[in-house]
Amino acid sequence: MVAIDPILLHILLIAISGTLICTAVHFIPVGGAPAAMAQATGIGTGTVELAAGSGLVGLITASYMYANGPAPGIPPSMVMVLAAGAMGSMVMLASTMFAGSLVYAYGVAVPFASAQVKKDPITGERQDLYMSKGTQGHGLPTICFVSGVIGAALGGAGGGLIYYVLMQIYSPYIAASAAAVAGVFTMGVFYVNAVIPSYGVGGTIEGVHDPKFRRVIGKDVITSFFVSLICGVVAVFIAQGMIA
Amino acid sequence: MSDIKERSPNQLMIFGIIGGLLGIYLTFLLPLIGDKIHGTIGEIINTIAPVAGALGAICAVMWGADAVRRVAKYGLGTGVPSIGQIAMGMGIIAAMFGLAIVKKNIIAGPIVAVATASIIGFIIGWFAQNVIKMKIPVMIRCMTEIAASGTIIIIGFSAAVAGNFEFGNIVNLVFDNGIMLVVFWVGAMAILHPFNACLGPDEKQKRLLYLAGSTGAITMAIVGLAAIMTLGASGVITMLLGIVLWLIFYKKFWDEVYNDASSVVGTGLIPKTEA
């Protein structure tokens, strides 16, 4: 393996994790205001709220994992932190979607149907039969749920990765406050990378099966990668400023 | 829209930058003066110094809210809150960078932070316009302004809590105890709420600016509450002044709403028809 300068590696890892968060947002079935009235498929709130909600839970679980290494003072491996982040996010988003589905099914009383595909790619059920006239689908069909859980895993892993990298950078300089500084910086990067794709998708997306997914993911990922690269450079410079 | 007199974007930008930076720098300069003057007056000056940071942040809130208004008018497709959150996201990254990178030259921190925020905002705006192709003509300019105002808000309120804007001090008094999250969230609310609440066909800048003043002031009151924990007496002044400003701005907003609302005419009960 080619040896990479550790600083360069840190910057690259932050750029990759930003890109992961950006990709994650595309997987999450976001319906926005129309979905809140059960007139579009997805969860009835905004992209940023969902991505941030699940991502920040992922950040909490990732930081908990980081703080509880195999021995005091020794952090666990990167894979463990990423997995913890992904798990926290998945649990959060899955429970959000489950609770939302209960409301859609038993409160609003709509069958779950997607407007973007004729048959659910996972269950093979016909979708168009269950669509109400004048709506863009409603509820959360199986494919949306699965896509959302995958997205949450990517987002949580992305958040966990930034946190892990930042802790590696900051811990030598400010041992006690590193967690707070790394956490807040991660939140900043998270929001930037959650909003960029939400502009790309224009507010609503059903998930991986939506034709919009293929149309917008390329340019969003490019944008996110470059913006996160800048964030990575900035993060490394902050560490330089900490050297008294 | 053209017959209504509005504050131009440049006017508000100057107001936000000058007012914001002035407030932030006063938290640094007033103690220098206060230390020279001994006795009670010196102590009073030292106590009121952090309040200036919050006042500066209110200027930036009004500027930022107007920038949000200009860009969100085009319809972002994601709701107005997203832009408030990206503002704080960019703001916090730039603020941490600006304050940390200057090391011992504390005085340069806020200016470096605002410059960094403008660059990050410009880049994100450029990508949004040219790569994501959002087709919003004011995107680049507004993104730059929003990022810069977000940074001033973060530094201003942080300085109000920490007493000054030295990075180590802010880490100890704002980051470690989690007050940063309050500054982040309530600051985001302050910048996004005015347009989110006022948007619509009869939206007017004057009304929005008064509401921005009131959200900024209520943020100042909340930050003051947090500052009581870290600074004591200064926090009490910040909180009380915040509440007073909130009442003033909210009353003005209230008056504007009444002014702009269609007149409600009492017609009395429906008259009984004679058969």
Task: Bin A87: left if φ > 0, else alpha if -120 < ψ < 50, else beta.
Answer: alpha
pLDDT in tens, A132-168: 888 888 888 899 999 999 999 999 999 999 999 999 8
Q: What angle (nearest 5°) sits at the alpha carbon of residue B86, between those of residues A175 and B117?
A: 70
Q: Is A224 helix (H, G, I), strand (E, B) or coil?
A: helix
- B171-225: pLDDT as tens digits: 888 888 889 988 998 999 999 999 988 887 778 888 899 999 999 999 999 999 9
Which residues of chain A does B180 touch, with a Cβ-Cβ cutoff of 8 Å?
A: 180, 184
* B-interface mutation test, from A234, A237, A240, most B Cβ less than 10 A away: A234
- CA dist., res. A181 & res. A171, Å (int): 10
Cα-based distances in Å from A94 to A125, A150, A190: 21, 10, 20
Distinct helix (H) and strand (E) counts, chain B: 9, 0
Determine which of A184, A196, A230 to mutate to test the interface with B (most B C-beta atoms within 10 Å). Answer: A184
Interface test with A, best of B74, B126, B132, B158 (most A CBs within 10 A): B132
pTM of the model: 0.89
> If you write DSSP's letter for every residue of B116-145 in order, what string do you get?
HHHHHHHHHHHHHHHTS----TTHHHHHHH
Q: Residue B251's pLDDT band (boundaries 50, 70, 90)?
A: very high
Most confident of A36-45, B11-20, B263-272: B11-20
- Provide the number of CB pairs (under 8 Å) joining chain A to chain B: 136
Asked if A200 and B89 come within 8 Å (Cβ–Cβ), the reply is no
Q: The tokens 């990709």 sit on which residue? A: A23
Provide CB contacts within 8 A for B97, sequence distance 6+: A234, A237, A238, A241, B112, B113, B116
Q: Which helix (H) or strand (E) holds A137?
A: strand A137-138
Q: Where are the beta strands (DSSP E) in chain B?
A: none
Which residue in B85, B84, B118, B87 sits closest to B194, CA to CA? Answer: B84
Q: B-chain residues within 8 Å CB-CB of A33?
A: 79
Q: Spell out the alpha helix ranges (H) of chain A.
A: 6-27, 32-36, 47-67, 78-102, 142-170, 178-201, 211-242
pLDDT value for B76 = 75
| From B85, B99, B131, residue closest to A191, measured CB to CB | B85
CB A143 within 8 A of CB A114: yes
Binding-site residues on chain B for chain A (CB distance < 8 A): 76-79, 81-83, 85-86, 88-94, 96-97, 99-103, 116, 120, 123-124, 127-128, 131-134, 167, 171-172, 175-176, 178, 180-181, 184
Does A94 contact chain B (CB < 8 Å)? no
CB count within 10 Å of CB B199 equals: 16
pLDDT of residue B42: 85
Q: CA B113, CA B120: separation in Å to the nearest integer?
A: 10
Whole-angstrom Cα distance, residue B272 to residue B267? Answer: 13
What span, in angstroms and rounded, lies between the C-alpha atoms of A17 and B21? Answer: 33
Helix%, strand%, coil% for chain B, nearest 5: 80, 0, 20
- Measure CB to CB from residue B78 to each of A48, A190, A237 and give the nearest one: A48
Gap from A17 CA to chain B (nearest CA, Å): 16
A94 to chain B nearest CA, in Å?
A: 22
Mean pLDDT, to the nearest integer, of A103-125?
87
pLDDT in tens, B55-95: 999 999 999 999 998 888 887 777 788 888 888 999 999 99
DSSP-derived letter for residue B108 is: G
Q: What angle is formed at CA A157 by the lines to CA A151 and CA A160, rounded to 5 degrees?
A: 140
Of A187, A199, A238, the CB nearest to B100: A238
Q: B89, A195: Cβ pair inside 8 Å?
A: yes
Handedness of CA B95, B34, B243, B69 (dihedral sign): negative
Q: Are A229 and A11 in contact (CB under 8 A)?
A: yes
Amino acid at A74: I
Q: How confident is the model at residue B243 (pLDDT cuts 50, 70, 90)?
A: very high
Across the strands, what pairs with A119? A126
User: Which residues of chain B lie closer than 8 angstroms to A190, CB-CB?
Assistant: 89
Burial class (CB in 10 A: 0-12, 13-18, 19+), A173: middle
The predicted pLDDT at position B263 comes to 61
A residues 122..151 contacting B (CB < 8 A): none
pLDDT of A4 reads 76
CB B90 within 8 A of CB B244: no
B134-153 residue pLDDT tens: 888 888 999 999 999 999 99
Cβ separation B78–A174 shorter than 8 A: no
Domain positions in chain A? 23-236
CB-CB contact of B99 with B165 (8 Å): yes
Instruction: Give me the residue from B77, B89, B176 closest to A180, CB to CB.
Output: B176
The answer for A 25-64 residues in CB contact with B (under 8 A) is 32-33, 46-49, 52
d(CA A158, CA B121): 22
Which A residues 177-206 touch B at CB under 8 Å?
177, 180-181, 184-185, 187-192, 194-196, 198-200, 202-204
**Close Cβ partners of B86 (under 8 Å, ≥ 6 residues apart):** A191, A192, A195, A196, B124, B146
A185 contact residues in B (CB cutoff 8 A): 92-93, 96
Nearest beta carbon to residue A188 from set B93, B99, B133: B93
Q: Rounded to the nearest 10 degrees, how much is the dihedral formed by the CA atoms of B110, B111, B112, B117?
A: 90
Q: Is the pLDDT higher at B82 or at A94?
A: A94
- Dist. CA B148–CA B142, nearest whole Å: 10
C-alpha distance from B6 to closest chain A C-alpha (Å): 28
φ and ψ of A89, to 5 deg? -60, -45
User: H-helix or E-strand containing B190?
Assistant: helix B179-198
Q: CB distance A241–B100 less than 8 Å?
A: yes
Q: Within an 8 Å CB–CB cutoff, is residue A82 touching chain B?
A: no
Distance of CA B198 to the CA centre of its chain: 17
Does pLDDT of A40 surpass 70? yes
CB A63 within 8 A of CB A183: yes
CB contact under 8 Å between B123 and A230, yes or no, is yes
> Nearest Cβ partner of A192 from B86, B99, B180?
B86
The C-alpha angle B243, B160, B27, rounded to 5 degrees, equals 120
Query: pLDDT value at position B1?
Result: 43
Out of A188, A223, A238, the one facing B89 most closely (by C-beta) is A188
Degrees to nearest 5, angle at CA B78 with B72 and A233: 85
Rounded to the nearest 10 degrees, how much is the dihedral formed by the CA atoms of B254, B260, B261, B262? 160
| Lowest pLDDT segment from A74-78, A229-233, B15-19 | A74-78
CA end-to-end span of chain A, whole Å? 35
